[in-house]
Amino acid sequence: MFDLPAQRAHLSEKYDLAPSPELAASMSEIYSRMSRVVSPMDWAIYAPYIKAINDLKAERNAVILGHNYMTPEIYHGISDFGGDSLQLAIKATEVEADVIVQCGVHFMAETSKILSPEKTVLMPDMEAGCSLAESITAEGIEEMRRRYPGAPVVSYVNTTAEVKAASDICCTSSNAAQIVAAMDSDTVIMTPDQYLAQNVARDVPQKNVVWWEGSCIVHEQYRPQDLRDFREWNPGTRLIAHPECPPEVVAEADFSGSTSGIIKYVTDEKPEKALLITECSMASNIADALPEVDFVGPCNMCPYMKKITLEKVLFALDTMTGQIEVNTEVAAKARLSVQRMIDLSRQLGI
């Protein structure tokens, strides 16, 4: 269990973490990447943590991988690389570092460890889970195999190492349709996200896609009527939905794509106003790079992603706690599923 008072006491003995306008001013280059969404008062609070973390990174030969759903002070302040879960896992294999700090959720840190077993992978808060990853176990995969004999299992990367190990191949929201289309079987099992599977089923009608009934607690909250109401209230707004949203929601949107697909779409199209139907920090993290786009609300927050804070990252790096371990045999099988996805994606030119 997380002991915040003890962590704070430990950090305050070693670091001067008091808000500092002077330090904040000296770090204006970093602040310029988030000044549209982070106030100067908040920046003065974050700056001492960011300085301490960045100094410690150099000392430990560490890199920080920041998911698109991290808050801006983490995404822009301390992350060496930002992106979606697959981009970060691939980056984990490429970086020449001894330590990786995963600013995201637990399954992402596990994926980094699976692909880079020789590196120390730190998770700043072990309780940063994921409703999708928690919805299925390796037994659930076996149950689907019994229900649909001979059908290949395509599992989303938002799964535990055990589930990846029990699957035939992984997918992400950016390559799911192409991976499913490439399977050598009429019936394809998709786990654990029922909505991603239903969106893929619509895009790949030549396959009989069957699914596990998991869902993301952030994206399942949207309703088609929310989008219709929003269009009426704020005409001209481009509505952009993540494919973890129910298909009826995606059908109401102007575009649907993975987090990296959303970034590309908004960067290319530069709509005057955009509503990102996904996790709140997505819009915050791209707002400064796209000053011509007005990102309008509402959005839903992922309580798991928001468990990661500057304070917890500093503590993990300072004490080297929160190390991810994956059973060697499970890791080897899980690596095969992830590697098959990477190889097939390259083969398909995705």
85 is in an annotated binding site: yes
User: How many CB atoms are closer than 10 A to CB 186?
Assistant: 10
Interacting positions 142-161 with ligand SF4 (CB under 6 A): 158
219 is in an annotated binding site: no
Q: Does 302 bind ligand SF4 (CB under 6 A)?
A: yes
C-beta closer to ligand SF4: residue 43 or 69: 69
Residue from 171, 184, 186 nearest 341 by CA = 171
Residue from 145, 271, 248, 258 nearest 198 by CA = 248
C-beta closer to ligand SF4: residue 190 or 218: 218
**CA-based torsion, 68, 69, 74, 79: positive or negative:** negative
Dist. CA 128–CA 104, nearest whole Å: 8
Could you write out the DSSP letters of every residue in 222-283? --HHHHHHHHHHSTTPEEEE-TTS-HHHHHHSSEE--HHHHHHHHHHH--SEEEEESBTHHH
By CB atoms closer than 10 A (0-12, 13-18, 19+), residue 346 is exposed
Dist. CA 259–CA 279, nearest whole Å: 10
Convert residues 3-42 into a mask of x (bound to ligand SF4 by CB under 6 A) and - (unbound). ----------------------------------------
C-beta closer to ligand SF4: residue 281 or 345: 281
Dist. CA 124–CA 141, nearest whole Å: 29
CB of 267 to ligand SF4, least distance (A): 22
259 is in an annotated binding site: yes
Near ligand SF4 by CB under 6 A: residue from 62, 70, 88, 105:
105
Taking a C-beta distance cutoff of 8 angstroms, is the pair 109, 321 a contact? no
3-state secondary structure 188-235: EEEECEHHHHHHHHHHCCCCEEEECCECCCCHHHCCHHHHHHHHHHCC
28 is in an annotated binding site: no
Dist. CA 85–CA 91, nearest whole Å: 10
Dist. CA 227–CA 238, nearest whole Å: 10
Interacting positions 109-138 with ligand SF4 (CB under 6 A): 130-132
130 is in an annotated binding site: yes
C-beta closer to ligand SF4: residue 244 or 318: 244
CB of 20 to ligand SF4, least distance (A): 33
The total number of residues shown for the chain amounts to 350
C-beta closer to ligand SF4: residue 84 or 168: 84
244 is in an annotated binding site: yes
Convert residues 192-231 into a mask of x (bound to ligand SF4 by CB under 6 A) and - (unbound). ------------------------xxx-------------
C-beta closer to ligand SF4: residue 56 or 136: 136
173 is in an annotated binding site: yes
C-beta closer to ligand SF4: residue 114 or 305: 305
Pick the piece of the chain touching ligand SF4 (CB under 6 A) from 22-30, 169-177, 259-267, 299-307: 299-307
CB of 302 to ligand SF4, least distance (A): 3
Dist. CA 61–CA 194, nearest whole Å: 40
CB of 96 to ligand SF4, least distance (A): 28
Residues at the annotated binding site for [4Fe-4S] cluster?
130, 216, 302
Return binding residues: 67, 85, 130, 156-158, 173, 216, 242-244, 259, 302
Q: Which amino acids are annotated as binding site for iminosuccinate, given as ranges? A: 67, 85, 156-158, 173, 242-244, 259
User: Residues in the site for ligand SF4, rule: CB under 6 A?
Assistant: 69, 105, 130-132, 158, 216-218, 279, 302, 304-305
